[in-house]
Amino acid sequence: MEEKWQRIWEEEKVYKYDWDDESRPVYSIDTPPPYPSGDFHMGNFLNWTYFDIRARYKRMRGYNVLFPQGWDCHGLPTEVAVEKARGIKKSDVPPDVFRRMCEEWIEQYIERMKQAVIRMGASVDWSTEYRTMDPDYIRKIQLSFLLLYEKDMIYKGEHPINWCPRCETAIADAEVERVHRQGNLYTIPFTVEGEEVLVATTRPIYLPACVALSVHPEDQRYTHLIGKKARVPVFGQEVPVIANDEVDPEFGTGAMMICTYGDKADVVAVARFSLPVVRLIDGKGVLLEVAGKYAGLPIAQGQKALVEDMREMGLIRAEESLDQEVGTCWRCGTPIEVVSARQWFLRTIQLTDKVVETAKAIKWYPDWMRQRLIDWATGLDWDWVLSRQRIFATPVPAWYCSKCGKIKLAKPEELPVDPKIQQPTTPCSCGSTEFTPDTDVLDTWFDSSMTCAIHAGWPDNPNWRRQFPASIHPSGQDIIRTWAYYLMVRHLALFNETPYKSVLINGMVLGEDGRKMSKSLGNFVSTPQVYEKYGADAPRQWAAAGGSTGTDIPFRWQDVEYGRRFMQKLWNAARFASMRLEDYDGGWHQPELLDRWLLSKLQATIKRVTQAMEGCDFMNATEAARNFVWHVVCDHYLEAAKSRLYGEGEPKKAAQYTLHTVLRDTLKLLAPVIPHLTEEIWRTMYDPHTSIHVSPWPQPQESLVDPEAERVGDKVVALIAAIRTEKNRRGLSLNAPLPQVTVYGGGHVADLALCSRDIRNTLKIGELELLPEEGGETPVQGLEGVGFTLHL
Ligand SMILES: [Zn+2]
Ligand SMILES: [Zn+2]
């Protein structure tokens, strides 16, 4: 049934965004273009359920909803996968051949991901589909590069960067993963005018690139050495001893070596004290000439050989193991090195205040996630390094004049351009027509951090601002520091405006055991496994109701099973209703007390669900709607109204009117979470031609709010439920007639008497005696002083 509706929705273009409609307000969703790994996992399922509930809800609220979908193709993951699958390195084949291999590789996975997104029932407008590797997408990214360069927000400069020696590329701070590992702390002697100064370091191999020795200015052990020259062991160069209040006198010996670059602290010190930069390694992480006899060795091997030699020379004075935090490449796990290189940068640091101000001004679901972005932005101390030394990515649209060296940027009309293949169409300002291409490519986040504007239609659609800023940017808590942040700085730099008006954060999906879901832990559940057994509507209920928005949510089969049982309940209720409504005239009929009781409770449910939906509180929205259907409509109302629905005349018509109204509105309340089943029922019972997903969201009607009916009705249904329970306890079938029942109504007798016919008919009671005194064999829970006796 689900796949049938997915086909029909597509055929009927139910989710098509109307680009020309000026009458309805726009709701634009900044759908993340996922990296098409081919595996649409339960984490993706959770994300897309959130986006989709939001899209469906807003559509029913009358918005013109833009729910686009793209694929983020470029980047290291694809290159690493292709290198592994083909057993080659990117440099073994010409760049265009390697690029084609990557395109083929990724294409096979896009189709699989797309099918999974369709299969979970996402209401995507597929006419918006794009790939970041499409020439047209590359054109837009390169255009934004040119515009940012014109605004002096992009520059090329020499700057320390994080470098992965395996992937041979610069990587951004956000791509560095901190891991703990066991290292060694070596104590080694420097000499200052004959005096030995011990220094503790985890990386003696950086000695050739040592440019200073630093001590705390108030450290009495060393103050007399400040300003003198220290001789570096083994390599023999002389470096200044400087006072640096960043040095922790408690760490190691209190004397630290500054190298280019052992870590980020070195970068800060080199800039602060204007120290020289010594290049120690090449792009592959191999030691250069300056390392003397160790030159030509990879850095790890060089360190091993050097430490062995130093041990023999008696230059390792102490050695202890140390738990250290090491930065590694997010893609391949290789420890990163900090090196100095000429790269392209976006001036992100100067935007930090603006990022904080904007993060505070926009809405966050949940609110406490706002601080994550602020903390990340304020903790950064380097500009965003945009260039990568890879192949499968958007090329930097630039050349260099072979004669004068000036940068030559492509012209907007030349885009998209690959400067390695094409030449500029105009000469350099010096007159030369000889150029060398910039061979760098752009960080894949540079592709995806333009989505808010590109989804809106920038730069080609003159009305793109109608869809911009995005109404909502949905993101995982793990990618706030990348995706939410890069989108923000990129659009602020280009348009001086926030790219999104609100952010919706989802947590991670955990395994059933509460640990991170992973294949190696054996707690992994794949989406096809779930679809096969339960389809999409049942696990969507798990995703919506499994935990509050923004928190980590464990996958629980029992939640999916509960979802399935709820749907069974809804289906049975709807089937019963459709039979009992066959002769319904469609009109209003004066509702009876229990009808008014139900209609009043419906209004409260509409208010509760609407409020939760407005606040992206999918858990409470789902629970409120499900509880109403299951425990109010099915458990109580249908039981109490059954006899009227099987009967004749006005009492029947009143119940028909009530059931018709209540089922219609509850289907709508459930439609964003359970889109397929609600559509199936809707088209059968209400409107065969128009989807429930474009029907208006129910509005609570104050005229139907009836506290008096609720007060009385609550008592009546409590009594009915208590008698049913007692029948069951006594082993009687629920349909078994009861010849005589005495109800001791106590102070509630007048209220109960208002519905004595319903009580009698529902429970098939032959003779119902309703007495004003208290008593009876069985007390009614929650109704003080009320009890009853079954005379069997
Ligand atoms: Zn790497
Ligand atoms: Zn020139």
N- to C-terminal Cα separation, the chain = 47
Partners of 184 in the β-ladder: 321
**Whether the predicted pLDDT of 447 surpasses 90:** yes
User: Is the CB of residue 656 less than 8 Å from the CB of residue 589?
Assistant: yes
* pLDDT score of 76: 79
More confident position, 526 or 77: 526
Taking the CA of 402 as reference, the closest ligand is 2
What is the arithmetic mean of pLDDT over 433-450? Answer: 94
* pLDDT score of 78: 85
* CA–centroid distance, residue 420 to ligand 2 (Å): 18
**Whether the predicted pLDDT of 358 surpasses 80:** yes
What is the arithmetic mean of pLDDT over 508-523? Answer: 84
**Whether the predicted pLDDT of 518 surpasses 80:** no
* CA–centroid distance, residue 328 to ligand 1 (Å): 8
Taking the CA of 332 as reference, the closest ligand is 1
What is the band of 252 on the pLDDT scale with cuts at 50, 70, 90? confident
What is the band of 656 on the pLDDT scale with cuts at 50, 70, 90? very high
What is the band of 171 on the pLDDT scale with cuts at 50, 70, 90? confident
* CA–centroid distance, residue 163 to ligand 1 (Å): 8
Neighbours of ion ligand 1 (CB under 5 A): 164, 166-167, 329, 331-332, 334
* pLDDT score of 414: 95
* CA–centroid distance, residue 176 to ligand 1 (Å): 10
* pLDDT score of 621: 98
* pLDDT score of 270: 87
* CA–centroid distance, residue 331 to ligand 1 (Å): 5
* CA–centroid distance, residue 138 to ligand 2 (Å): 27
**What is the Cα–Cα distance from 238 to 230, expressed in whole angstroms?**
5
Number of Cβ atoms within 10 Å of the Cβ of 112: 13
* pLDDT score of 767: 95
- Spell out the residues 6+ positions from residue 498 whose beta carbon is closer than 8 angstroms to its own: 358, 361, 362, 469, 488, 491, 492
Taking the CA of 331 as reference, the closest ligand is 1
* CA–centroid distance, residue 162 to ligand 1 (Å): 11
Question: How far, in whole angstroms, is CA 303 from its chain's centroid?
Answer: 41
What is the arithmetic mean of pLDDT over 320-344? Answer: 89
* CA–centroid distance, residue 159 to ligand 1 (Å): 20
* CA–centroid distance, residue 76 to ligand 1 (Å): 8
What is the band of 641 on the pLDDT scale with cuts at 50, 70, 90? very high
Taking the CA of 169 as reference, the closest ligand is 1
* CA–centroid distance, residue 399 to ligand 1 (Å): 27
**What is the Cα–Cα distance from 670 to 541, expressed in whole angstroms?**
10
Taking the CA of 336 as reference, the closest ligand is 1
* pLDDT score of 268: 83
Neighbours of ion ligand 2 (CB under 5 A): 401, 403-404, 406, 428, 430, 432
* pLDDT score of 168: 86
What is the arithmetic mean of pLDDT over 77-106? Answer: 89
Tokens coding 368 = 């406490």
Positions of E strands within 541-647: 553-554
**Whether the predicted pLDDT of 391 surpasses 90:** no
* CA–centroid distance, residue 404 to ligand 2 (Å): 4
* CA–centroid distance, residue 184 to ligand 1 (Å): 23
User: Is the CB of residue 399 less than 8 Å from the CB of residue 419?
Assistant: yes
* CA–centroid distance, residue 333 to ligand 1 (Å): 6
Rounded to the nearest integer, the mean pLDDT of the chain is 94
Taking the CA of 428 as reference, the closest ligand is 2
**In the chain, what percentage of residues exceed pLDDT 90?**
83
Tokens coding 627 = 């509880």
* CA–centroid distance, residue 735 to ligand 1 (Å): 70
